[in-house]
Amino acid sequence: MDLKIHAELPKRLDFRIGILGSGFIVSDCHLVAYRKAGMNPVAIASRTRANAEKTARRHEIGQVYETYEQLLDDPGIEVLDIAVPPDAQLGLIRAACRRGTVRGILAQKPLGMNLEEAREAVALCEKAGITLAVNQNMRYDQSVRAGKALLENGTIGEPILATIDMRGIPHWMPWQERMGWVTLRIMSIHHLDCFRYWFGDPEGIFCSVRTDPRTTFPHEDGIATYMLHYASGLRCIGIDDTWTGPAREGCPGDIRIQWRVEGLNGLALGDIGWCQDPYTTPSSLRFAAVGQEAFTQPQWTESWFPDAFIGTMAQLLRALENGTEPEIGGRDNLRTMALVDAAYQSVAEERLVKLSEFGLEPPIGSPVKEA
């Protein structure tokens, strides 16, 4: 059975990629993946030139620019890979669209500080004729893609209940403190997008949050629980627990991210390797259908970090090559951003918030029935 865990690569791998940012996610994930796939990063700029130079040496990037603006002014750059904090991203997208020289942009999630910023990013790119994709990289975790294949090929049958259960302690970024964000826009956004990838758009979401006792800066959404309602009766439940018990305070820990999809015909169970030590541990999968005597357990050597990042860039490059919308295009991602905003609204108003309240248009090339 083909579980389609590998990203389809473009025929042309020599698109000239310019990198904005030089932190961990660039140096240990993006660039490792691009080199593995044979892609062509040619220039880099960062807030700190010394860090950009260090990253360039490690990954054999020929051009280091002093400023972001210098890289944006390079007419030879065809694709921008933006990997900066969310409050800096829109400014770079605006600057790139004013110049209008690049053909494509791969933006980080979240696409904006909120849905309205994301809408602006999408509108600017469409007006400038720039293809926008979003680095929702959990879609390219190997177990997640296998789960999608099992849904598409009928192994599971009609989905009845799906869960993602995260008991993990992420490394929070310094920029989160100035925003007061913890979980919904940083971790839950992966899981909400994953549910959308598997099942399409829900009718609405109900969310409840509380603070994480370990996180010292002011925040609201430390621990998040939410349920997605689908018209078919399907329910998707997420538990994003960044506390996990006092695992850092002397108690034995139980750190994991597991997902489960129950269907009328079968069952699939995934275990995400990213939160294991090392973070390059492959995810795993077990699945079975009615009539099987035991679970099938496929094996692979690839991992979410860094191999999923081949897929997020590849889907943008294929779109540029074929003149199509990326699999994770900007307009599609507005619906994930709307779910995040809806989660915050649900917390504030203590009710089910419907996606139809946000006035979204269907993704280009992928009509979506409005909730």
Q: What pLDDT, on the 0 to 100 scale, is given for residue 364?
A: 62
Q: What pLDDT, on the 0 to 100 scale, is given for residue 303?
A: 98
CB 44 within 8 A of CB 65: yes
Burial class (CB in 10 A: 0-12, 13-18, 19+), 368: middle
Q: What pLDDT, on the 0 to 100 scale, is given for residue 370?
A: 39
Question: Helix crossing, 189-199 with 330-349: angle to 10°?
Answer: 120
Q: What is the pTM of this model?
A: 0.96
User: How would DSSP label each residue in 123-178?
Assistant: HHHHHHT-EEEE--GGGGSHHHHHHHHHHHTTSS-SEEEEEEEEE------HHHHH
Q: What are the chain's domains?
A: 16-137+309-329 (3.40.50.720), 142-304+334-358 (3.30.360.10)
Amino acid symbol at 339: L
What DSSP state is assigned to residue 360? P
Q: What pLDDT, on the 0 to 100 scale, is given for residue 171?
A: 85
Q: What pLDDT, on the 0 to 100 scale, is given for residue 46?
A: 97
- How far is residue 90's CA from residue 77's CA, in Å, rounded to a whole number? 19
CB atoms within 10 A of CB 320: 18
CB 335 within 8 A of CB 360: yes
Amino acid symbol at 46: S
φ, ψ of residue 269 in degrees (nearest 5): -130, 120
CB 96 within 8 A of CB 105: yes
Instruction: Return the structure tokens found at 172.
Output: 């929070």
φ, ψ of residue 189 in degrees (nearest 5): -60, -35
Mean pLDDT by 10 residues, the chain (371 residues): 96 98 97 98 97 98 97 98 97 98 98 98 98 98 98 98 96 90 96 98 98 95 98 98 96 97 98 93 98 98 98 98 98 98 98 97 55 38
